[in-house]
């Protein structure tokens, strides 16, 4: 009964490259959330997705960041032309079908992105 | 603007004693509060929550207290155990808005010494 899976766990990119972070929700979960934790900060909400739909992307930076949750496969958080300020831990969470909530969100171990 | 504040970056407690972790919030719209525990190299794990209609919620060794007038909540762990050593995040959301969107504090590193 695997939990939320994220890969890679560590990702190093040079400025200007693209970063792709993957998240496989828990089995049976249909809601996915992405959070970002900058150094010395708390986690900040980025985006909430259901299968093939972006429900709320109010926390996403307006440029260079995009997210998807296709019908098949993991959710992808994509960062184009990375800059040093994108260095952070990116956490994915998932929750079961039905009304989304917060105490039913299960978090993955995170991807630590380092931009050189 | 830090809407959820955990002013103590770290706390050290002796095994068997009480650990008290504090959290303040500024957004009076928040009406649901949660505590998460995070071990290194793992994601946060939900620990306990409290609705604003209550002032106390207890689950085993963990109790959360909410003081709405002071916009303050605290997590009590008693007795503390070495396995409780972790980073504890306070989080909040507003049920009338997006009830899935958590706002987190920066966390407090708890160390329980044997």
Q: Which whole number is the average pLDDT over B73-87?
A: 97
For the record, the structure tokens of A58 come out as 């109010």
Task: Look at residue A102 and tell me whether its pLDDT is greater than 70.
Answer: no
For A60, the token pair is 């996403």
- pLDDT, chain B, mean: 93
Q: Which of A1-10, A19-28, B6-15 has the lowest mean pLDDT?
A: A1-10
Question: Which residues in B have their CB inside 8 Å of a CB on A?
Answer: 4, 6, 32, 34, 36, 41-46, 49, 89, 91, 93, 98-107
Whether residues B106 and A48 touch (CB distance < 8 A) is answered with no
Q: What percentage of chain A reaches a pLDDT higher than 90?
A: 76
Q: A100–B106: do the CB atoms touch at under 8 Å?
A: no
From chain A, the residues in CB contact with B4 under 8 A are: 42
**Gap between the Cα atoms of B63 and B7, Å rounded:** 19
- pLDDT at position B58 over 90: yes
pLDDT at B41: 84
Question: Predicted confidence band at A54 (pLDDT cuts at 50, 70, 90)?
Answer: very high
Q: What is the DSSP string of A2-60?
A: ---EEE-SEEEE-TT--EEEEEEPPTT--EEEEEEE-TTS-EEEEEEEETTEEEE-TTS
């Amino acid at each position: 009964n695997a939990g939320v899976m994220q890969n890679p766990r560590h990702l190093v990119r040079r400025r200007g490259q693209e970063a792709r972070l993957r998240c496989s929700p828990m089995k049976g979960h249909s809601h996915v959330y992405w959070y970002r934790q900058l150094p010395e900060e708390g986690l900040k909400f980025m985006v909430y997705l259901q299968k093939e739909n972006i429900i709320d992307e109010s926390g996403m930076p307006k440029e260079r960041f995009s997210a998807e949750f296709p019908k098949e496969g993991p959710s992808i958080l994509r960062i184009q032309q990375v800059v040093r300020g994108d260095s952070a831990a990116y956490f994915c969470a998932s929750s079961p079908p039905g009304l989304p909530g917060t105490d039913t969100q299960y978090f993955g171990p995170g991807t630590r992105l380092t931009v050189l | 603007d830090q809407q959820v504040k955990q002013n103590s970056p770290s706390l050290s407690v002796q095994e068997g004693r009480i650990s008290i972790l504090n959290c303040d919030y500024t957004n009076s719209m928040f009406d649901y509060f949660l505590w998460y525990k995070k071990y290194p190299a793992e994601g946060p794990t939900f620990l306990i929550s409290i609705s604003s209609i209550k002032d106390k919620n207890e689950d085993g060794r963990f109790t959360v207290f909410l003081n709405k007038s002071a916009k303050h909540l605290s997590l009590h762990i008693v007795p503390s155990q070495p396995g409780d050593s972790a980073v504890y995040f306070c989080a909040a959301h507003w049920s009338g808005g997006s009830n899935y969107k958590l706002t987190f504090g920066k966390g407090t590193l708890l160390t329980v010494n044997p």
